[in-house]
Amino acid sequence: MSAKKKTGTVSFQCSSCGYSQPRWLGRCPDCGEWNTFVEVILQDASIGPGSIMNGAVRSSAAGAGTSGTSFMSRPIPLSAVETRETARLCSGIGELDRVLGGGAMKRSAILVGGEPGIGKSTLLLQAAASAQTAGRILYVSGEESAGQIRSRADRLGLPLDRIEILCTGRLEDIARALEEVSPVFVIVDSIQTVWSPEAGSIPGTVNQLKLCAHELVCWVKERDAVLFLVAHVTKDGTIAGPKALEHLVDTVISFERNDEDVRFLRAHKNRFGSVDELGIFQMTGQGLAAVEDPSSLFIVRRTGELPPGVAVVPVFEGSRAFLVEIQALTVPSKSSMTRVYSDRIDAARVSRIAAVLEKRVGLRFSDQDIYVNVAGGVRLTESAIDLALALALYSARTDMSPPQNVASIGELSLAGEVRPVGRLKARIRAATGLGFSTVLAPEKIDGSVAVRTIKEALSAIFKK
């Protein structure tokens, strides 16, 4: 083992794997990557982020086998572990608490991702102002100045006396503030701007993200607090940086938007709740407003006869059922190759339903371009939408308008059979509660019309 390096000296560290040595090399001998060595300044471990976060001295500049810790972890029987009552911290925003599983669990880290300008900072600032906690709240900003955040809070009409602001990206400054303030609600906006000299001089590198996120998560695991980490996203919509960040945290939620001002909040990982819940917000002049009744966004209220190519289906998102409108359009193909244009419903599902109609009903789609949309911009993936999609395609192809106040539920097999789906009774209740007098379903429940095949469904709706 080499001698301990002197504090303040210059070392070169691989930004890919963390290997360090006193001279610059073109290729890392540990991971084999080229041009990854960056210059770092070694610091005293007693003032490093590890000692501040965990209350123990660690030497992160030394090798993996260095004995620089003042404690040692030892295994204990699982039966000897003391269980403590877990508590959730309500953010005061119902849709956010719904996605988190009833509130943010204490001693947990939550990663929030989304496109630039979608409203991540606005949502978390609103949550910090309305969080139901008697403790202190710390907002760490590495992207905006304190004046910008104050202006946003004034524009949204948020109370300012409960939030303390820290504008820095240096991990050691954040660690010092966490120890001094001891907050119960911490927001770091964003994790890509946090950096430490121990991991190099450039923020946002793989090493920086791993080190800084790990230190912050270690801090929250030892205290009754909640940590929110804001993360950037890549061009394809995934959270930027290594996937290791998603393994470090307890919950990963993402912000999505449709073509309008509606925002969708989904959980991709949740150790303390379901990942099936959907939070719906609408961007207004007073910030993000929670949408309590999603059907008001996804059902188009019309007077008079319905246009061809429209069908309504009750869908489930988590524990909540609401109705959405599927819209279809078919036009003759302008080339020998037909196409399916559908970004809210999987194009393969649309092609399969069209093939079933062509085979079992005799309605030709092989010379048609098919366009499918969902009102409100929500994405549909469950099999319960098959029957409604088939009715919309049939209506669009024949140019026949469906009757008013009709909803349909069911999975469609390749044989043209309408198969049962989960939570059918709750779906029917949601449709009838909004005034739909006729509900087509695989079974006769609470006044629904039972249909066994796609031909029976078409006969019940279009009388042919």
In three-state form (DSSP H/G/I as H, E/B as E, the rest C), the secondary structure along the chain is CCCCCCCCCEEEEECCCCCEECCCCCECCCCCCECCEEEEECCCHHHCHHHHHHCCCCCCCCCCCCCCCCCCCCCCCHHHCCCCCCCEECCCCHHHHHHHCCCEECCEEEEEEECCCCCHHHHHHHHHHHCCCCCCEEEEECCCCHHHHHHHHHHHCCCCCCEEEEECCEHHHHHHHHHHHCCCEEEEECHHHCECHHHCCCCCCHHHHHHHHHHHHHHHHCCCCEEEEEECECCCCCECCCCHHHHHCCEEEEEEECCCCEEEEEEEEECCCCCCCEEEEEEECCEEEECCCCHHHHCCCCCCCCCCCEEEEEEEECCEEEEEEEEEEEEECCCCCCCEEECCECHHHHHHHHHHHHHHCCCCCCCEEEEEEECCCCCECCHHHHHHHHHHHHHHHHCCCCCCCEEECCEECCCCEEECCCCHHHHHHHHHHCCCCEEEECCCCCCCEECCEHHHHHHHHHCC
pLDDT at 66: 38
Q: pLDDT band for 1, please (50, 70, 90 cuts).
A: very low
Cα(176)–Cα(173) distance, integer angstroms:
5
Q: What angle do CA 121, 128, 185 make, to 5 degrees?
A: 110
Computed on alpha carbons and rounded to an integer, the radius of gyration of the chain in Å comes to 28
Range 62-80 average pLDDT:
59
* Percent of all residues in the chain with a pLDDT value above 70, rounded to a whole number: 87
pLDDT at 160: 85
Q: pLDDT band for 108, please (50, 70, 90 cuts).
A: very high
Confirm whether residue 6 is marked as ligand binding. no
Both tokens assigned to 240: 């930027």
pLDDT digits (tens, 9 = 90+) for 124-178: 999 999 998 878 999 999 999 999 999 999 999 998 888 999 999 999 999 999 9
pLDDT at 60: 39
| Most confident stretch, 62-66, 212-216, 261-265 | 212-216
Which is nearest to 183 in space by CA: 216, 152, 215?
Answer: 216
Q: pLDDT band for 241, please (50, 70, 90 cuts).
A: low
Range 238-256 average pLDDT:
80
Question: Regarding predicted confidence, which is higher, 172 or 83?
Answer: 172
Range 429-449 average pLDDT:
92
pLDDT at 59: 37
Cα(170)–Cα(196) distance, integer angstroms:
6
Q: pLDDT band for 184, please (50, 70, 90 cuts).
A: very high
Confirm whether residue 116 is marked as ligand binding. yes
Confirm whether residue 120 is marked as ligand binding. yes
Q: Is the pLDDT of residue 464 over 80?
A: no
Find out whether 193 and 142 touch, Cβ atoms under 8 Å: yes
Cα(257)–Cα(299) distance, integer angstroms:
18
Cα(26)–Cα(37) distance, integer angstroms:
7
Which is nearest to 441 in space by CA: 464, 415, 407, 414?
Answer: 407
Name the amino acid, one letter, at 365.
Answer: F
Indicate the average pLDDT of the chain.
Answer: 86
| Most confident stretch, 19-33, 275-289, 439-453 | 439-453
Range 226-242 average pLDDT:
76
Confirm whether residue 142 is marked as ligand binding. no
Confirm whether residue 359 is marked as ligand binding. no
pLDDT at 294: 84
Number of residues in the chain: 464
pLDDT at 9: 65
Cα(397)–Cα(144) distance, integer angstroms:
53
Sign of CA dihedral 384, 386, 388, 389: positive
Both tokens assigned to 362: 């005799």
Beta partners for residue 278, in sequence order = 266
Cα(262)–Cα(241) distance, integer angstroms:
27
Confirm whether residue 198 is marked as ligand binding. no
Confirm whether residue 118 is marked as ligand binding. yes
Confirm whether residue 296 is marked as ligand binding. no
